[in-house]
Structure 1
């Protein structure tokens, strides 16, 4: 296996492409943005003019789009990957979508001669750009063995979480319910500290060396106290969408998600106020309500 493709060359997909190229894969990519395609060419990849062109050129194609409708169109639509990839290839569904959508895509791909690896990722923009993503991969063991090299090129850890489509997305939905909740609690704690007159650096130093310290909380606090509410590669719309998926899964399985529901509302309010902001803009939204800001 020498060739790989990426559909969707945004903050995440561009990182996938960069690391595939660095690992020696001939990499073809497609995005609706001409600027993103040009950036791929500058990295040493081949910018395609269509999804079909990526499929025809690739043994494995990462699908890093925003939602299930886009994934379905890219994979199953006219001129999509099912139409263009050679039998034996793999569609690597690295986008985060609803588990039932992944199951539907997998069922529609049955009999096509193509493999579906359902493997959403965690690690955000830094993980994608640095090749250190965590993958939650679901596919038969022999398929994961065969396509391990292309997946290892973009990740630091690959968890095998099942064999059927939808199982990777299910684990991701559970994970995002936790991450969203940690973020939201951190936003509230940051504004509480601001209102109380605590310096941002003091709060960060305490949290990061306490039992509450973790990657999520530390990253959120650093961006808040440095007033970085946009351009950090963690768009608020993505977490908002992911929490929607988590809540949908909870409803489907009749599991109460009280904390995740509160986080969903915080992200909903933040997205309404700062639609182009990053996750940390939720803290800025709460700051506006109470009239206090947390600075370093």
Structure 2
């Protein structure tokens, strides 16, 4: 194990770019993914593929985990060939998934019992920014964890927000970001669908809105996918089924009403139940009746 070694587990749309950013920054990057071909492809370009999380953890004092959810993170850490038992005391586990803040707080306690450091560090920005090393990280954790992993975070992100000295705050802020992201996508789809239903040219509507006060980053980004008729999943419908569900669970714990988030969650649920769960999240527009989407077969 060397000080410049860093591990990345999960080479999806975000993790692959984050690993590449670390490699460009001069780190010796070790990777693991459940798809062995993904790890091998990264290693072929420079880096080391590891067969198990434990193999990776034994080599790296800092491990960045970019899997889908808490269940996958649990498996990475504590499943067969798990990471936690192999990491040296004082090593840092950087958790980048969107999870329930209460789960993240509990995970920190479990890792501290094993002599490990933890950063609650969910991410935002999309695949292109991940590849450019320009994501946003919403982090919280101990000063000792920051001291050891700070250079790793800076190599992956344009902005690293330090939100507190213990786990939970990073995940809470990410949950709030996802509330807005999900509501904005749902509202963008509703607006575009209304325009289509009223016979407005979709490209003209997009041009006007993106240069008017009603624009949002999500309208500009996601409705471009609709105009192209391209629902390749950069972020899938089912991600927002999960993430808005976490938003509602978090609010429910404090009896806090979220009427807009609740409606958006139902819209993504409807899209998923109609068979669009693995499509890009802009496919939530497909729940609206009586419209012909750009690129649809005549």
Range moving further from structure 2, 277-286 or 254-263: 277-286
User: What do the CA deviations read for 1:187-219 (whole angstroms, capped 9, x no partner)?
Assistant: 000110111111122112222122222321100
1:142 is displaced (CA, Å) by: 4.2
User: What do the CA deviations read for 1:26-52 (whole angstroms, capped 9, x no partner)?
Assistant: 111111112211221123121110010
SS of structure 2 residue aligned to 1:11: coil
- 2:159 aligned with 1:157, yes or no? yes
Of the candidates 159, 167, 170, which is equivalent to residue 169 of structure 2? Answer: 167
Contact in 2 for aligned 1:118/1:166 (Cα 8 Å): yes
Pair 1:293–1:48, CA change in 2 (3 A): same
Q: In structure 2, how many angstroms separate the alpha carbons of the residues matched to 1:147 and 1:32?
A: 24
1:198 aligns with 200
C-alpha RMSD of the superposition: 1.7
1:254 aligns with 255
SS of structure 1 residue aligned to 2:163: strand
1:291 is displaced (CA, Å) by: 3.1
Contact in 1 for aligned 2:6/2:27 (Cα 8 Å): yes
Q: In structure 1, how many angstroms separate the alpha carbons of the residues matched to 2:238 and 2:128?
A: 17
Contact in 2 for aligned 1:8/1:30 (Cα 8 Å): yes
Q: In structure 2, how many angstroms separate the alpha carbons of the residues matched to 1:130 and 1:284?
A: 32
Of the candidates 138, 141, 163, which is equivalent to residue 139 of structure 1? Answer: 141
1:243 aligns with 244
Relative to the length of structure 1, the TM-score reads 0.94
Listed as ranges, the matches of 1:224-243 within 5 Å are 224-231=226-233, 233-243=234-244
1:163 is displaced (CA, Å) by: 1.6
Listed as ranges, the matches of 1:50-69 within 5 Å are 50-69=52-71
2:112 aligns with 110
Aligned positions, number: 293
2:269 aligns with 268
1:126 is displaced (CA, Å) by: 2.0
SS of structure 2 residue aligned to 1:147: helix
1:294 is displaced (CA, Å) by: 4.6
SS of structure 2 residue aligned to 1:65: coil
Contact in 2 for aligned 1:18/1:43 (Cα 8 Å): no
Relative to the length of structure 2, the TM-score reads 0.93
Q: In structure 2, how many angstroms separate the alpha carbons of the residues matched to 1:240 and 1:163?
A: 30
Contact in 2 for aligned 1:247/1:257 (Cα 8 Å): yes
